[in-house]
Structure 1
């Protein structure tokens, strides 16, 4: 399915575009679309005043874009919590179901869903859930791909896209996994995972969409 405007806003938000400039390339990788498609959509989002675009520097959400993205993310992540907690879906299979449900969610429905679930703060993939006004707790924007050999950290969240979720499931990475970086090269970043006591080679492209808290010390 071709990503729509809402998908772009959510991806910009996920990548940290609420507080910092992000590149077209990051969006291309995150949504698995062409550079031309990203350029076309960014032009539309600028016209609609959802983002600002500084040539050769990057894209950032405006205040209106940030609130719109936050409420879209709220709907999506509430449904993910519901699917896992109430319907017992596996964590790695809820994203696409939540994608369908979020578009039919009214503000009242989202509020009722949040209340029923006990006002959850995080989705199963570690993403913070904004409140009904679009406010949210700040989260890590430090990608695993930016770490160097010897650094210790734990996985705080991953970009909420099917390809990323499937990838971390396939290599058995989990939210809150603690690790030490033991090797870095052009293709991979290798970590020693505490939970399993094994080394895991993570593709650098995917590692750019895995966000960590590097403050943890073993």
Structure 2
């Protein structure tokens, strides 16, 4: 599996988490490549039986691809823990560095790293570190999709430094208790209570905050 194919599979998985239809256009925008290049790669992935075309969901990952993505995510998140806890990397730098390293290290290295780290179950951003060869199941939703009046907890923030820094400045951090108080009629502005402090966010910023109904 080439690093490029792994990145495409991760991209499709991440889009599907937000419950958006996975289209050529959306993949091209996120991967920052041309639509013809995306179309060609998706064709190869379909032929390799790693993705399937669905009329309602767009492109979806097969079980084999889900396991591949899960193992790449496992590598990435274990590397983040290592960089933060043993090399003293700043939290906002570990994601970018792990993106580079995840394609370079072997499975044996990652298994050894997992053992050395004491088999951590969460990365520095609060996401679950999946077990090897087990399909990743992050039971999370976007803040922009959260129901009004229900209690949620922040499980992950955007990996984009400028957005994560802004959200932290607004008091939104891992583990924060969030209640949606009000949504505008067009769904563009969301008023929410964060640890008993009321703030307003745009729908765009809300799409960079991941929530769960438990704080485990």
Shared fold (TM-score, shorter chain, > 0.5): yes
Residue in 2 that maps onto 1:152 = 151
Relative to structure 1, the CA distance from residue 15 to residue 157 in structure 2 (aligned partners, 3 Å threshold; closer, same or farther) is farther
Instruction: Flag structure 2 segments of 5+ consecutive residues without an equivalent.
Output: none
TM-score when normalising by structure 1: 0.79
Number of positions where the alignment pairs a residue of Structure 1 with one of Structure 2? 205
Q: CA deviation at 1:34?
A: 6.3
1:60-101 deviation digits (Å, cap 9, x = unpaired): 210110111111111111110111111222212211111111
Q: CA RMSD in A?
A: 2.8
SS at match of 2:141: coil
d(CA) in 2 for partners of 1:4, 1:40: 13
Relative to structure 1, the CA distance from residue 177 to residue 87 in structure 2 (aligned partners, 3 Å threshold; closer, same or farther) is same
Residue in 2 that maps onto 1:203 = 202
Relative to structure 1, the CA distance from residue 34 to residue 201 in structure 2 (aligned partners, 3 Å threshold; closer, same or farther) is farther
Which residues of 2 match residues 113-132 of structure 1 at below 5 A? Answer: 113-132=113-132
Relative to structure 1, the CA distance from residue 198 to residue 39 in structure 2 (aligned partners, 3 Å threshold; closer, same or farther) is farther
Instruction: Flag structure 1 segments of 5+ consecutive residues without an equivalent.
Output: none
Relative to structure 1, the CA distance from residue 154 to residue 21 in structure 2 (aligned partners, 3 Å threshold; closer, same or farther) is same
TM-score when normalising by structure 2: 0.80
Report the structure number with the largest CA radius of gyration. Answer: 2
Contact (CA 8 Å) 2:152, 2:179: kept in 1 or not?
yes
d(CA) in 2 for partners of 1:208, 1:176: 17
Relative to structure 1, the CA distance from residue 28 to residue 198 in structure 2 (aligned partners, 3 Å threshold; closer, same or farther) is farther
Relative to structure 1, the CA distance from residue 128 to residue 22 in structure 2 (aligned partners, 3 Å threshold; closer, same or farther) is farther
**Which residue of the other structure, out of 136, 141, 166, is the alignment partner of 1:170?**
166
Residue in 1 that maps onto 2:106 = 106
Relative to structure 1, the CA distance from residue 93 to residue 46 in structure 2 (aligned partners, 3 Å threshold; closer, same or farther) is same
